[in-house]
Chain A
Amino acid sequence: MSDAVLTPDDVAGHDVAAHDDHGHHETNTGISNNKLAMWLFLSSDCLLFGALISTFLLYRTNISDNTVWEEPADVFDIPFTSLSSFILLMSSLTMVLALSAVNRDDQRNGRIWLLTTAFLGMVFIGGQVYEFTVFREEGLGFGTNTWTSAFFTLTGFHGVHVSVGILLLLGTVFGTRKSGLGKEKGETVELVGLYWHFVDIVWVIIFTVIYLIPIG
């Protein structure tokens, strides 16, 4: 039991040992507070998207007589959306390559991969804007029926998340121009990466459930 009592020397030793190579304090859980907070946020964000996906699944048919508003195959341009999905999936690869480069203290490649990730995100958003425009021209607006309302709300919220991710990526690249994007910024890039992968993982679900799975 006496080992469990901390002496001033132990505390001094603890202070030295309690900083890892990313420069942040160790905690009781062994996980940095920032990282734990990000995971808590992502966990709560699951609920937001869970509710939006649930709403879409329940509203995609006419509630009064349960007829199908639209079949996915009749409405969506699947080859186009598949390409968008592939681009977002590959942006997850460039994100982990960015983190890997930053952890190696390779600042140049870290910045290149972060900018590539942001660029791929912008291409995805451009595709979403194009898709929304085509829908609008075909007479499928936000208030056309419950299906379109739920669809635009769900994919719109996801688009907002991607846009926020792009801002975080650009903020990381340009906000570290003076201080550098060295190994000590590893946790910052990791947190941005977690957010970005979450956005990707949500799209994996949306693409399958909303675009591919047939109704009925």
Chain B
Amino acid sequence: MAATDTHLDHDTHDDHHDHPSDRTYVGIAIILAVLTAVEILMFIFEDDMPRNLVKLGLIALMVVKFWIVGSWFMHLKFDSNVLSQLFVAGLILAIVVYFIMLSAFEFNFWNDGFEDPGLPDIE
């Protein structure tokens, strides 16, 4: 019985976390708003900065915002790791899809050694 109880305690742990307070949520929203403002400023002053720096900065800010919303608002920080793994698996698959499509379009990877037979002549 004791072992069963311990097992249940362990299992139920993931769903029984303490949620952050409302004040914490407001603080997180303020951080997100500031990050969005920084993104817009980078866009406005993009001509005064190296283009690659602008791109890198915008992508970094996007990743941070994504992580904050996922961790705090979607509670991945407090929930079972299984959920994080599920979500990350979906994201990785989506990125893989992009690179497969990129390889088809940009590098002409899939057409190597392929000769277009053309349309048959119709007399």
Contacts and interface: CB of A to CB of B under 8 A. Distances in A.
B86 A40 contact: yes
A185 to B, nearest CB: 15
B119 interface: no
A193 B69 CA distance: 12
B8 A26 contact: yes
Contacts of B33: 86, 89-90
Contacts of A204: 62, 65-66, 69
Contacts of B39: 207-208, 212
Interface in B1-41: 1-5, 8, 10-16, 19, 21-22, 25-26, 28-29, 32-33, 36, 39-40
Interface string B88-107: 01110111011001100110
Interface residues of A, number: 68
Interface string A106-135: 000000000000000000000000000000
B25 to A, nearest CB: 5
A17 B5 contact: yes
A13 B87 contact: no
A20 B16 CA distance: 8
Contact of A58 (B19, B21, B102): B102
A62 to B, nearest CB: 12
Contacts of B8: 14, 17-18, 26
B84 to A, nearest CB: 9
Contact of A43 (B70, B79, B89, B102): B89
A92 B19 contact: no
Interface string A144-181: 00000000000000000000000000000000000000
B93 A78 contact: no
A10 B6 CA distance: 12
Contacts of A90: 29, 33
15 contacts: A4-B3, A36-B83, A44-B90, A46-B87, A51-B101, A53-B98, A57-B98, A58-B105, A73-B43, A93-B73, A96-B25, A99-B19, A193-B74, A204-B66, A209-B62
- When A and B form their complex, which 4 residue pairs have the shortest distance between CB atoms, in order from nearest? A50-B94, A43-B90, A3-B3, A46-B90
Interface of B: 1-5, 8, 10-16, 19, 21-22, 25-26, 28-29, 32-33, 36, 39-40, 42-43, 46, 51, 54-55, 58-59, 61-62, 65-66, 69-70, 72-75, 79-80, 82-83, 86-87, 89-91, 93-95, 97-98, 101-102, 105-106
